[in-house]
Structure 1
Amino acid sequence: MNQATDEYDVIVLGAGPVGENLADRTRAAGLSTVIVERELVGGECSYWACVPSKALLRPVLARAEARQVPGLREAVGGSLAAADVFAHRDKEVGNWKDDGALTWLDSAGIDLVRGHGRLIGPRRVAVTPPDGSDGGERTLTARHAVAVCTGTRAALPDMPGIAEARPWTSREATSSGTVPDRLIIVGGGVVAAEMATAWCGLGSRVTVLVRGSGLLNRIEPFAGELVAETLREAGAEIRTGTSVKGLARPGGAAGPVTVTLESGEQLEADEALFATGRAPHTADVGLETVGLEPGGWLTVDETCRVTDVPDGWLYAAGDVNHRALLTHQGKYQARIAGAAIGARARGVERLDTSRWGEYATTADEAAVPQVVFTDPEVAAVGLTAEQAESEGRSIRVVDYDMGQVEGSALYADGYRGRARMVVDLDRGHLIGVTFVGPGVSELLHSATVAVAGEVPIDRLWHAVPSFPTISEIWLRLLETYRG
C-alpha cells in the first residue's frame, strides 16, 4: 500500500463494509482515495457481527429445520459438534486476519493507512500509528471530501459492577470458543434473539431478560411471539418486564457472574451478554475541530453529507448517521454518497435528490429490509402496521397463516409462521411486509422490490408464484386482500 502520499481527493475513516463501498465508488469516479483503519479491514460486520453470528446460527437453524422433515428428523437427533461449528465460524472470519480484504483494496486502487484517524480541521486528518509501530503521527489532506464511516460500538448501561464484571457484548458472543453452561442475555432486540437462538442450540441454558413486553418489539408483534415460543420449547427461559440494576463477578475473571434484578432477585450464570443497544464511534474522531459535538450521531442530508459543516466536504455513511443501523443499508448509503462525491468533484451543481432519485437515500425511510436469523426466521421490510397508523396513513392489514401454503407444508412438517402485508389505500401499493417462518429470508427481496418499486397492488396480482413453493404466500395474501 502507498504510504507516501499525504494528499488525496477523498479520505475515508473506517474500513468496514460501508467505508469499503464508499471508497470503491469514489475510485470508480476517478478520485484518489485512502482508507484509515485502526482495527481489521472489513470491520465489525465481517469479524464480530453479521458473518460470525450467522456462521454460529446456520447449523442451529439447519438442524431445527431437519427435525421437521419426516424421515430425516431421526438422523439429526444428537447435539451439535461445537468445536466444528467454531472452526467453521473461524474460517468464515479469516481467523480474524484481514489478508483477503487487503488484496481487494490493492486491486481496487485504494490506499490504506493503518492507525487511529481523527479530524484536525476542515479536510485534514491526523493518523496515529497502531501501538508498537514505527513512525510518528501522519497528516492527510482531502481535496474534496472526508467520509466518517466508523460505525458503532456496543452500548453498556451505567450500573454498579459492570466494568469489573466484564460482561459479554456482541463481540464476545460471536467470537467465544467455548459454550457457557449458563448464559444470561440482557436485552430483547435482534442481537439478543439471535444469540439466544445460537447459544441455546449449542447447549447453553439460556435466560433472556427483557425490559419490555417481548422480543423484537420494532417488528410486527407476532414475530417476537413466535420466536419466544420456539426458544421456550428449546429450553430457554424468557422473562419480560424485567430490569437489571447490578452485575458482579465475585470470583474474578474465571468465576461466575451474578446479575441483580430491580426486584432484588439475583441470578447466577457463567456469562452475561448485554445486548442493550449501540452507540456511535464518534467520540474520538475529532468532530470538535470542525464545530461538531463529539460522541454523537451525525445528521446528514439525502446524499449523506453532514448538514452542520460548512462547505459540504464532510460525509457520514452507515451506522454513524443513525438512519438505519444495518450493514446492507450502510453499504447502500455508501454507494450513493460515493457517487455524490464523484459528481460534485466533476462540478455537477445540482444532483437529483428527489424521492427515489439517483443521489437520494430514500430506502432508509421507506424500504429498509431486515432478516432476523432466529427459529423461526423473521423477514420484514418497510413499515409495520403501527408505524403506518402513527404516520396517519389510511391502511389495510392482511394476515395469513404461512402453514396453510402447500410449499410450507412440504418444507417442514408442522410448519409455523405468519405473513402480513400493509397496504396504503390512498396510494394503492404495499408499504410494509413481514414474514415469519422457516426459510422466509429468501422471500424478502421480492417484498423489498414491491415496496421500493411502489408496485400497484393490482399489478402484483399478475406476478404468479411458482407451485409448490413458500412464495405462494403472495397469492394467498392477495386473494385475501381482493376478497
Structure 2
Amino acid sequence: MTETDSNAYDVVVLGAGPVGEIVAERTRAAGLSTAVVESELVGGECSYWACMPSKALLRPVIARADARKVPGLSQAVQGPLDTAAVLAHRDDKTSHWQDDGQVDWLDGIGADLYRGQGRISAPRTVTVTGPDGAAHTLTARHAVAVATGSRALLPDLPGLDAVRPWTSREATSAKAAPGRLIVVGGGVVATEMATAWQALGSQVTLLVRGKGLLNRMEPFAGELVQEALTEAGADVRTGTSVKSVTRENGTVVAITDTGDRIEADEILFATGRAPRTDDIGLDTVGLEPGSWLPVDDSLRVEGFDWLYGVGDVNHRALLTHQGKYQARIAGAAIAARAAGDSLTEAGPWGAHAATADHHAVPQVVFADPEAAAVGLSLAEAEQAGHRVRAVDVEFTSVAGAGLYADGYRGRARMIVDLEDEILRGVTFVGPGVGELIHSATVAVAGQVPIGRLWHAVPSYPTVSEVWLRLLEAYRG
C-alpha cells in the first residue's frame, strides 16, 4: 500500500497554467503559503498548445501579408514562407514542450509544486496522485482555487476516434504542414489555424456550420476575414456540417450534409471547448463532474466559502488575458478574506471584483486581416436593452492606414449608448488593429464620456486616427 503524506497550506491551486500561476503569485505576495498541482506541463495550454505556438505560427504569415502591400518591399517577399523555419521558431517559443523555466518561476515565488492528478477529496482538501503512484493530501486553510482550464470539444460522430482528428493541440504542435487540411468550425481557432496552415503550404477547406466566420463579433469582421481567406486560396464553405468522417488508406474522407465528399490528409475540429473539471473530485462536494463552475465576481464558486473557479472553468470568457485578470481578482479576494478584510468597500471597481467580465472583455483574432473587439456588439447591446447607435468608418478615410499598406482594407465600429454617451463596444478589422484594441478597452472599461474622448487626440499619421473619424462621424 502506498503511503500518503499530508501537508497544510493556506491556498491550494489546481492547475499551473497562466491562470493558476497568477493565483499562486498573488497569494504568495500576500504572505500566504501556496501549493500548486499540475497533471501536465507547468505553463498550461496557453504556453504549449494555444496562445504562444499559434501566434508564433501566425506572426510570419501576417508580417508577409502586410509587407506585400508596401511599395518597395512587396517584390522582396513574393516567395513562399520557409515552413521549416517557422515551425522551428514555434518550437523555441514553446520551449520545446519543456517546462523547466516555468517550474523555476514557481519555485522563485515560493510556491510548492505537486505533479500529478489532483482531486478534491473533502472540503478544503485535495489529494494528489503522482506519476509514480505516490499520494499527497493537501489541506487548505483558506481556499482551493480550480484553474484547470478547458479542452477541445469533439462532435459526436461515429468512429471519430479511429480517424485520429486534430484538435487545437495537434494544429499548433504539428511537425509538418499537411498537403490538404479540412478545418471544421468558424470561430477563432478555426479561423486562425486556417489562416496559418494555408500560408504554410496546406490546401485548406474550411467547413462552417453557420452563415459566416466569427459569429460572436460584428458581422463585417467575419466577412472581411472570409474574403481574405478565399483570396489566399482557401475553400470556405458556409452553412455546411460534417455528417461522417473516415480514414481510408491514410486519407481522411469527410461527407457533408449536402452529400459532398472531401478528402484530406488531416482534419481539424475547432467546434468548441469543455471544462477540464471531469476528474477533479467535484462530486465529493456536491458538484457535477465535468461542469462549468458558477462563480460570483470575486471568483468564489456559488454556495462555497472556500472554493474558487478561475479562468476557463467558469465559462465567463475563455481567453488567457481575461483568465489572468480573474486570477488577480481571485488572489486579492482570497488574501483579503484570509486577513478578515471587507471586500465591499471599494465597490464594483475595487481589486476584488471581476467587473470587466460583464461588459469590457477584449479579444484579438490574429487572422489576415486582424479582427479585434471589446464590449458589446450592436446586436448584444440592443438585446441587453440599451438605446444605442452604431457608428461605422472605413479605414480608407484614415491617412495612417494608407501609409501602413497600399489598398488597406478595414472597418471600425463603435457602439454609443445614447443615454449616457459612453461606448458600449468597439470593433476594428484591418491589418495591425490588434494594437488598437487596448485604447478601446480603456474607453469601454472606464466608461469615458464621448465629450472626453473628443479631447484624446490621436497622433498623425497613425492608424489610430480612426478614433477621430469615428467621433467625427458620431457628431456629424
TM-score range, shorter chain: over 0.9
Note the C-alpha offset of 1:355: 2.7
Corresponding residue SS for 2:326: helix
Corresponding residue SS for 1:403: helix
Note the C-alpha offset of 1:4: 7.6
* Residue in 1 that maps onto 2:309: 316
8 Å CA contact 2:5–2:135 kept in 1: the answer is no
2-structure distance, mates of 1:350, 1:375: 43
1:481 maps to amino acid: Y
Note the C-alpha offset of 1:106: 1.1
Note the C-alpha offset of 1:427: 1.2
Pair 1:383-2:376 in alignment? yes
TM value normalised by structure 2? 0.98
Greater Cα shift, 442-451 or 352-361: 352-361
Note the C-alpha offset of 1:53: 0.2
2-structure distance, mates of 1:352, 1:28: 22
* Residue in 2 that maps onto 1:442: 435
Cα separation, partners in 2 of 1:184 and 1:365, compared to 1, 3 Å: same
8 Å CA contact 2:336–2:343 kept in 1: the answer is no
Pair 1:264-2:268 in alignment? no
Corresponding residue SS for 2:245: strand
1-structure distance, mates of 2:181, 2:343: 54
Corresponding residue SS for 1:6: strand
Note the C-alpha offset of 1:163: 1.1
* Residue in 2 that maps onto 1:16: 17
What do the CA deviations read for 1:137-165 (whole angstroms, capped 9, x no partner)? 11111111000000000000111121110
Note the C-alpha offset of 1:353: 7.0
Which of 152, 161, 164 lines up with 1:163 in the alignment?
A: 161
Note the C-alpha offset of 1:352: 4.2
Note the C-alpha offset of 1:249: 0.8
Which of 459, 465, 476 lines up with 1:466 in the alignment?
A: 459
Corresponding residue SS for 1:71: coil
2:419 maps to amino acid: D
Cα separation, partners in 2 of 1:379 and 1:138, compared to 1, 3 Å: same
Pair 1:281-2:276 in alignment? yes
* Residue in 2 that maps onto 1:194: 192
Corresponding residue SS for 2:215: coil
8 Å CA contact 1:353–1:360 kept in 2: the answer is no
Corresponding residue SS for 1:292: coil
Residues 182-261 of structure 1: pairs in structure 2 closer than 5 A: 182-251=180-249, 255-261=250-256
What do the CA deviations read for 1:339-394 (whole angstroms, capped 9, x no partner)? 10000000124434733232111111110000000000011100000000001110
1:123 maps to amino acid: R
* Residue in 2 that maps onto 1:367: 360
Query: Which residues of structure 2 form unaligned runs of 5+?
Result: none
2:113 maps to amino acid: L
1:238 maps to amino acid: V
Which of 273, 286, 295 lines up with 1:291 in the alignment?
A: 286
8 Å CA contact 1:430–1:454 kept in 2: the answer is yes
Pair 1:104-2:105 in alignment? yes
What do the CA deviations read for 1:459-478 (whole angstroms, capped 9, x no partner)? 00000000000000000000
Pair 1:427-2:420 in alignment? yes
2-structure distance, mates of 1:145, 1:201: 46
What do the CA deviations read for 1:75-112 (whole angstroms, capped 9, x no partner)? 00100011100000000000000011011111111110
* Residue in 2 that maps onto 1:86: 87
Query: Which residues of structure 1 form unaligned runs of 5+?
Result: none
Note the C-alpha offset of 1:250: 2.3
1:258 maps to amino acid: V
8 Å CA contact 1:299–1:308 kept in 2: the answer is no
Pair 1:113-2:114 in alignment? yes
Percent of aligned pairs with the same amino acid? 67
* Residue in 2 that maps onto 1:403: 396
RMSD over aligned Cα atoms:
1.1
Note the C-alpha offset of 1:287: 0.2
TM value normalised by structure 1? 0.97
* Residue in 2 that maps onto 1:50: 51
8 Å CA contact 1:302–1:353 kept in 2: the answer is no
2-structure distance, mates of 1:113, 1:346: 26
2:126 maps to amino acid: V
